[in-house]
Chain A
Amino acid sequence: MGDSQRLILPSLGFGHLFNLECETGEPYNAGDTPGGLLKIIPVLCGRFKGERMKGQIMRGGASWNTTCGDTTNINSKYDLKMDDGAIVSLLINGWLIVDLDQASETLVNKLGEPSRYRFNAHLIFSAGKLRYRWLNDVIAFAVGNIREDGKVVLNAYALK
């Protein structure tokens, strides 16, 4: 399969969707499940802003974080309320990135609660209001941090 025979594909590009910050509550510890140590972290409030949308994160969402060995999967559902009242559901599915200098900290703390972590995630939107339906049809992602106080911050993008 030489390079010359390959199909010419568009190059990878992405556009900014919004920046988001989210306050979280005390985690519920579900303990050692078959998939790993499960913690459920409730969403208290938050907000987001981008060129095409801005608004609040509603209380009621949560994140299901599963730690197995030195990997932690993040699976969250947020309810976004746009400034014009439209509700858009957001699914976040990603992984904490354990940098080498943090690895020992992870191993010491088996609950996976190191103070500050970077994560990468897939984003999947569900929107019903016409103005935001384009979000249903884009492949989106986020890069983020979980901060010491449990605050989640992320920047969201869509592939062009």
Chain B
Amino acid sequence: MYETLDTFGLSQPQFEHLYYVEVECADNISVGKVTDGWLLIIPILGGRFEGAKIKGTIMPVGADWNTMFLGIKSRLRPSTRYVLKTDDGAIISLFTEARMKISTLKLLKLMITRKRIDTSKYYFRQHLYFTTGDSRYAWLNTAVAFAVIGMGDNMKVCYNAYMLK
């Protein structure tokens, strides 16, 4: 019976690039072992994002709540809230939910001590949820968006954001 489960005439997903961003982070705050893992909070200091339709700065507010499940293969669940301000003055609130897998604990420790790791050594992707009251960017409120993330030098979080068309 499964053979009839086709693509229902739905087209292949298509993505549009939104922006490239670099986010600067402060030293992490360790909350310690909580019920579902080890919790690190990483404050966000600022940054810059640039894309064809949207560009601006990251405001110095917000943080990453990062729950870590440490083991032979470590898994992390970073979740952030922070604020984008476009060059034309719009304020956009951003909530993200990420998944990260890294092949060894040693690499994770290197990353946390602010060393750059080859981006092929880990999987770091995220869901993006935008909220804004600015009518020029209202289209972001209903955007289903994602990011491919890499860690730059000094724990700088770099990613390309894309939205489903």
Binds A, one of B60-68, B83-91, B105-113, B152-160: B152-160
Nearest residue, chain B, Cβ from A19 = B5
Q: How far is the CA of A49 from the CA of B148 in the complex (A)?
A: 27
In the bound complex, residues from chain A placing their C-beta under 8 Å from that of B98 are 139
What's the minimum C-beta distance from A54 to chain B, rounded to whole angstroms? Answer: 6
- Tell me the minimal C-beta distance from B164 to chain A in angstroms: 4
B interface, CB within 8 angstroms of A:
1-2, 5-8, 10-11, 13, 15, 20, 22, 48, 50, 75, 97-99, 101, 119-120, 123, 125-127, 129, 141-144, 146, 148-150, 152, 156, 158-160, 162, 164
Point out the residue from B2, B7, B119 that lies within 8 Å of A7, measured CB to CB: B119
Contact pick for B119, options A10, A20, A97, A138, CB 8 Å: A10
**B158 contact from A9, A54, A159, Cβ within 8 A:** A9
Interface of B is mostly: strand
**Cα–Cα distance between A7 and B148 once the two chains are bound (Å):** 11
Question: Chain B residues with Cβ under 8 A from A20's Cβ?
Answer: 5
Distance of A129 Cα from B46 Cα, bound (Å): 40
Number of A-B contacts (CB under 8 A): 100
In residues 1-30 of chain A, which contact B (Cβ within 8 Å)? 1, 6-12, 14, 19-21
State the 8 A-B residue pairs at the shortest beta-carbon distance, nearest first.
A139-B125, A120-B144, A153-B8, A7-B158, A95-B142, A120-B164, A49-B5, A49-B2
Cβ of A47 under 8 Å from chain B? yes
Please tell me if the beta carbons of A159 and B146 are within 8 angstroms of each other in the complex: yes
- A154: which B residues are within 8 A, CB to CB? 8, 10
Question: Does any Cβ of B come within 8 Å of A78's Cβ?
Answer: no
